[in-house]
Amino acid sequence: MMGTKTDHRLRVIEGRPWKEALICALAPDAPHRPWHGVGAVEPGDAVLVVIDTDPPTLLCGFIQGSDPVRRAIAKISRFGRTGLQTVAELETAAGEHRLFDGLRLDSPAASALLAAATGRSRSQPHDRVGDSSVAAARILLQSGGRCGCCREAIDLAGSAPAELGLHLVPDNAFQQGQDWPALLCLTCQAGMEHGEFGSVIDYAYSLRPACPECSARRSRSITYGKLTPDWYANQPPWQTDGGCVEDSSARWMCAECGCNWGPSTESNAFADDPRRYEVARKLFGAWTGVTNPELLAALWKNLNTADLNHWLQRAGRESDPRNDGHTPNTF
Ligand SMILES: [Zn+2]
Ligand SMILES: [Zn+2]
C-alpha cells in the first residue's frame, strides 16, 4: 500500500434476492451470497445497502470501518429495527441527491444521503401491511429472527427462503383489527393450519387462557418494566403493558371485560441502577469499535432518544440476572 488513503467514497452494495439478503442480515452464517458490489469497498468507505424489493429499499444506514461487510451488515441490522425505507424515500429526504456508487464522501451529495440514511425511522406495524415484497421484507427485518406469535427464535440460517412463514395481511384486515403481519415459526404455522385459523390474532388468543369472568378468548399478556419506544409502537393486540410494577402483578388482562388475573411470573422490571448508563456506554463503545475516546464521546452524545433507549435497555438486559440475554417481546 502506497501512502495513506485520503479518497473515501460512498459505496452502494446490492442485496439480492431480497429474502436471502435479509436472512443474511439477521443470520450472517446463512449459506447465501446475497451481497453484490462488496469487492469495491475499502476501509474508510461508507456503505449503503440497497435491497431489491419492489420498490427497492435501504437496509440499514451505513457501515464504516474494517469489519468484513457480511458481519458489519449483520451488526448494524441488530442495532434497532429500522423502517426499511425505500430508496425513493431516502432520496426525497436527502434533497435533490440521487444514490449512486462511488460518490466522494466529502461531497455534499454523499453527506446528505448519509444524513438521510442514518436518521433512522422506526418500523411501525402499518408499514408492514399489504402483499408487496417491501411489506414482507419489513416483517422479516422487524422480527429480528423471532416468531411474531410465540417469540421463539427461528433458525433462519437453516431455513429455505421460500418456506419462511411470512404472514401477509391486507390493509383493511389490519385497519379493522382482524389480523396482524408476522413472521411465524414452523410450530405456529402448523398450529394455524391445523386449527384452521386465518388470522394470527385469533391464533395468538387461542393459545392463551380464557377469561375467568366472562370466558372470552381475548386474554392479553401483560409485560412489566421499562419498555422501549419500539416495543410500544409494535406491541400486537394480544399484549399490553403493566407499567413498572414489581411482584404480585396480574399476568393476564381480558380485552373483552377488562378484568385482570393471575400472578405475574415474569416481572422483568429493570433495576434503575446508575451503573446501567455506564454499561450502556461500554456496550455502545464495543459495538462501534471506535477506540478514540473523544470520537466515542461525540458519537454517544449524538445518539437520538430511540437509540439511547436501545443501549440502556440492552444494558438492563445484560445486567439482569433473571434474563438469559434475551428479553422476549422487545422488538
Ligand atoms: Zn411461533
Ligand atoms: Zn373477560
Which pairs count as long-range contacts for 309-313, CB under 8 Å and 24+ apart, including other chains?
309/228, 309/229, 310/79, 310/80, 310/228, 310/230, 311/280, 311/281, 311/283, 311/284, 312/276, 312/277, 312/280, 313/226, 313/228, 313/270
CA distance 127 to 123: 7
Ligand closest to Cα of 260 equals: 2
Residue 240 Cα to ligand 2 midpoint, Å, equals 15
Residue 187 Cα to ligand 1 midpoint, Å, equals 6
Q: What is the pLDDT of residue 180?
A: 98
Higher pLDDT, 82 or 311: 311
Task: Output the average pLDDT for the chain.
Answer: 82
Cell numbers at 22, concatenated: 435479509
Task: Look at residues 273, 274, 251 and name the one whose alpha carbon lies nearest to residue 262.
Answer: 251
Task: Look at residues 211, 216, 222 and name the one whose alpha carbon lies nearest to residue 269.
Answer: 222
Higher pLDDT, 308 or 192: 192
pLDDT in tens, 209-245: 889 999 999 999 988 887 888 888 899 999 998 877 6
Q: What is the pLDDT of residue 323?
A: 42
Find the mean pLDDT for residues 170-175: 97
Residue 250 Cα to ligand 2 midpoint, Å, equals 14
Is the predicted pLDDT of residue 184 greater than 90, yes or no? yes
Residue 182 Cα to ligand 1 midpoint, Å, equals 10
Q: What is the pLDDT of residue 268?
A: 34
Find the mean pLDDT for residues 318-328: 46
Residue 127 Cα to ligand 1 midpoint, Å, equals 22
pLDDT in tens, 146-157: 999 988 899 999
Residue 217 Cα to ligand 2 midpoint, Å, equals 8
CB within 8 Å of 313: residues ≥ 6 apart: 226, 228, 270, 327, 330
Residue 206 Cα to ligand 2 midpoint, Å, equals 14
Residue 149 Cα to ligand 1 midpoint, Å, equals 5
Residue 158 Cα to ligand 1 midpoint, Å, equals 16
Is the predicted pLDDT of residue 265 greater than 70, yes or no? no
Residue 214 Cα to ligand 2 midpoint, Å, equals 4
Ligand closest to Cα of 253 equals: 2
- What's the pTM value of the predicted model, to 2 decimals? 0.76
Ligand closest to Cα of 258 equals: 2
Residue 189 Cα to ligand 1 midpoint, Å, equals 7
Ligand closest to Cα of 200 equals: 1
Ligand closest to Cα of 212 equals: 2
pLDDT in tens, 74-128: 877 765 457 788 999 989 989 988 998 999 988 999 989 888 887 767 788 999 9
Find the mean pLDDT for residues 250-279: 68
Give the percent of the chain with pLDDT over 90: 41
Q: What is the pLDDT of residue 241?
A: 87
Q: What is the pLDDT of residue 44?
A: 79
Residue 198 Cα to ligand 2 midpoint, Å, equals 23
Burial 200-225 (b: 16+ CB within 10 A, else e): bbbbbbeebeebeeeeeebbbbbbbb
Is the predicted pLDDT of residue 309 greater than 90, yes or no? no
pLDDT in tens, 43-59: 778 888 999 999 999 88
Residue 152 Cα to ligand 1 midpoint, Å, equals 6
Residue 229 Cα to ligand 1 midpoint, Å, equals 23
List phi, psi (to 5°) of 126. -70, -15
Judged by average pLDDT, the poorest of 1-5, 283-287, 322-326 is: 322-326
Residue 79 Cα to ligand 1 midpoint, Å, equals 23
pLDDT band at 61 (very low <50, low <70, confident <90, very high): low
Ligand closest to Cα of 182 equals: 1
Find the mean pLDDT for residues 243-264: 80
Residue 145 Cα to ligand 1 midpoint, Å, equals 11
Give the percent of the chain with pLDDT over 70: 84
pLDDT band at 34 (very low <50, low <70, confident <90, very high): very high
Ligand closest to Cα of 147 equals: 1
Residue 192 Cα to ligand 1 midpoint, Å, equals 10
Ligand closest to Cα of 213 equals: 2
Q: What is the pLDDT of residue 247?
A: 55
